[in-house]
Structure 1
Amino acid sequence: MRAAETVTFGGLGGLDRAAWLRGDETRQRILRTAPSSRVLPVWRGKPLIAGEGRDALGLLPVDHPALRDAGLWLYLGQVEERAIYAAELSGFQPTGVDAAAEVAFFDPGEQSHPDLPGDHRFTELRGVMTSLSPLDAEIAATARGLFEWHRSHGFCARCGQPSEAAVAGWQRNCGACGASHFPRTDPVAIMLVTRGDNLLLGRSRGWPAGMYSLLAGFIEPGETLEAAVRREVFEEAGIRVGAVRYLASQPWPFPASLMLGCHGEATSEEIDIDPQELEHALWISREEMVEVLAGRHPVVKGARRGAIAHFLMQAWVADSLD
């Protein structure tokens, strides 16, 4: 698929991850204090977004007063030889926010910091991801995914003792048993399943009213991508799939997935859903999908803009999967 890397978080932004610098403690000490280095503050998974248009990251100099609340720092890489970090503001408590409250799946609220201008606010990444430049989107996705991994992997998987961040945030080491742990990514197959000029859509319980998307599921151990597509579609919707081909991928740090977009050709059409997996599924024509993507369909609402599901739907409607 020629346009594959234009998907949101697709990696065309130009971030040089400079992995060779992660374990160089001398260079890290220099970069952590360099006037040219920049830091993306993150609070509860929300990156700092700047400007009234909510279209740019709020990158700060390393000595900015707002960073005094920072806990873990991550080295994300370089942009034109300028070091880029992310810092979790674990000590920051916005006014009016319950510190003990669980983080919502999608928190539409925005939080300001007293040491920052009023147009700098901590914002849910899914709400602004299509407004950011490819570079800013890649930086924000990398930061969010890494912080989520540290948050959920604070203990050694081998012995259960606390582990500590190392290698500029790209590793966790256990002081008790000596094990090292590395950031994980869960592979997920997401399927554009067609039969003739119709597309298979499904919706899960709890989704916003009318919202439908492509079917998706985690790839299991010992399973190929193609086999996962066929298994998931049959398990969820009772549809048999024949030919499968890969189209595009998307890092999806909510919390730690790599979405692997595929096109599957259905060999059956009678839908038989698993109610534990789906609330409803349907076939929809290409003409109807034009109305869905335009927001004019009377019943069906499409996937979130910026998600690979929306990206693949648009490509199918435009007949540009190749």
Structure 2
Amino acid sequence: MQFIDRVEIEVEGGKGGDGMVAFRREKYVPAGGPAGGDGGRGGSVYLVATERLQTLLDFKYSHRFKAEDGKRGGPNNCTGSSGSDRYLEVPCGTVAYDLETGEVVADLIEPQQTVCIAEGGRGGNGNRHYLSNRNRAPEYAQEGRPGRIRQLRLELKLLAEVGIIGLPNAGKSTLISVLSAARPKIADYPFTTLVPNLGVVRKPTGDGTVFADIPGLIEGAHEGLGLGHEFLRHIERTRVLLHLIDATAEDPIADYQVIREELLAYGRGLEDRPQIIALNKLDAIDRTDEELEDIARSLQPESPYPIFRVSAVAKTGLDELLRCVWQVLEDREPEFV
């Protein structure tokens, strides 16, 4: 399945039905008068959040969506039927922006949350509305109003409480595969991961927390370099950032600063998010304990929490790391031994 997280669409509410020109013609009603019914209201277009979808793939090839038009009014003061509404299902976490104004039209987070994005037009009045002392037989009716037309941009922002960030090949996908049932593609070269991966990690209490592996962050990502500019939005909703650093890299501290600067440049409060730092790949490191301690000491001012040392491959140090994550999510001061 393709991961599509941004699309542009056009939506249009249905046109209201026209009013009708009609007169009563009953045998024993000599002065029947006008009896044209009103047109029905046009259908509206709605967005509906659903947990069934994880991508905006349904909108990749279909870009225009219109609700049904209202029906014309009938004789004997019968109102035309309203047009059927159109419901478009989107993944939870979808934000709809008006392309002309840039305003947020809808931000759908909860399942089954429904927002009207294009109202249907009102039906026109039948000729019975225009009866007056000066005009006892009006022969005109009102046309139905057109429905609202909108150009929208839909963006999916993943709903995850913990975002795993770091340079390519830092071990993010390996970590999420070890902690959860997620099975991302993993290889020993950068940019293996081309789409965000979600995994549910079980707490000691039994309930789950969603972790997101955010791929492709490199220097200049906020300006469109690499893959990061496509996926930075997915950590906007996270409560905690888990910054994974490759401890085997030539300069782990410089690697950390690259990602930190990208968060600052992107803004939206990401730089103020609680950030837990972990040095990964201890199973493959050739540094001495003293060198590793110097790296951790240099990174310590960047986080109020200890600098964790883990190996996702060997599954070492992960219990302490997760314990800190749970306590930060619960807004408790982490306890360390």
TM-score exceeds 0.5: no
TM-score normalised per structure 2:
0.24
More strand by share: 1
TM-score normalised per structure 1:
0.25
